[in-house]
Amino acid sequence: MLFLAIKNLVQEKTRLLISVGGVAFSVLLIMSIQGLYQGWSNKIGEYIRTVPADYWITQTGATDMFHTPSVLPLTVRDFLTGVPGVATAKPFSGRRVAFAHNGKDINLYVIADDTENNVGAPARVVEGKAVPDKGEIIIDRVVARSENIRIGDTIPVAGRELKVSGYSEGGYILSFSFAFATKDDAESILQLPGATNFFLVTVKDGTDAAGVASRIEANPAVDAITKERFVENNTNIVRDTFLPIILVLLLIGIAVGMTVIGLTIFTSTIEKAREYGVLKAIGVSNRQLYAVVVEQAVTAAVLGYLVGAALALAVNAAAGNYVPEFITEIRWFDAAWIFGVTVVMAVVSSLLPVRRLARIDPAEVFRA
């Protein structure tokens, strides 16, 4: 039956092209929007996830890096290292800074790359120097591409001229991005004499982490926030603002895509009514007829899926080159569920008309 189904399917190439094209367009639409949703979901918290800490220590009431300011005197480190169960307590300084470049306002979150304490380094450097020297800054590649800032260019940051020495990845959060300067330059920009914004605390192995946090919070001047909670606090700011819009577009895309797949397969099945009537006239049973129709639908769906998936990869890559903010990530899991939904929709759409075709009198087909 599979051979007969494929032979019948390729008999009219134009009809096959329309069927495969309809499925491919739908897969392209769904996979692209899903990739955009997944890309933004993962990227917005990528850098914060890489920061090595069990707890972020903040000024009391501060919950994130952006909306609630946190300034702690460096003497808090003495208190933290004296708490039983604390292995290390390292200062982490960073603040949002805006500057004008080529007539546009650019927002950076400048972080002190503290090589002495091994904290504040970029998640990964993809081009240029891995560690900035005095008077230099490493910026995110997305910002560099979108604002046409090249390695070697000088940019004004809080009254200082800093030379761009490298590009990093993983620090872009839509409306701003992380940038990295030396500890001395950052302290000059952030103006934090004798203070820092946060402390990163790690807990000794085998120690009750919750107990350590309770002992730290016995000091009314600080809060201890788990790394997971701190990441969530920061990513929710962006996730709650932008991602619901993408999620609505994704749901619309799925609905449109599934409708197109269903109509495409449904129409192509109906158009082959005469061929199915001929099959019945030569003795093909209804069960065999169902098998032929479903196999044709699945074949068209698989071909359309493969073409659509390939187009999605190509389109996303091309869009990312021209629009750096177009960050997508297509996971194997997403590719699998889109494939499953495509095949199921094709099968269901083919079974609806075939119930009527099964009752066709072959004589009516020949009279038509």
CA 8 to chain centre: 41
- pTM comes to 0.70
Helix (H, G, I), strand (E, B) or coil at 303: helix
Under 8 Å between Cβ of 40 and 327: yes
Contacts for 296 with CB less than 8 Å, ≥ 6 apart: 5, 6, 8, 9, 268, 269, 272, 350
Q: What's the start-to-end Cα distance of the chain, in Å?
A: 26
Give the amino acid at 355.
Answer: R
pLDDT given for residue 8 in this prediction: 63
- Please tell me the predicted confidence (pLDDT) of residue 182: 93
3-state helix, strand, coil in the chain (%, to 5): 50, 20, 25
- The whole-angstrom separation of Cα 137 and Cα 165 is 6
The answer to whether 172 touches 140, Cβ cutoff 8 Å, is: yes
**Tens-binned pLDDT, residue by residue, of the chain (368 aa):** 556 556 666 666 777 788 788 888 888 988 988 888 888 777 777 888 889 899 999 999 998 887 778 999 999 999 999 999 999 999 999 988 888 877 788 889 999 999 988 899 998 899 999 999 999 999 998 888 888 899 999 998 888 889 999 999 887 776 778 999 999 898 888 887 789 999 999 999 988 999 999 999 999 999 999 999 998 888 876 677 777 777 888 888 888 877 887 777 777 777 777 777 777 777 777 787 778 778 888 888 899 899 999 999 999 888 877 777 777 888 899 999 999 988 888 888 877 776 766 666 666 655 55
pLDDT of residue 57: 96
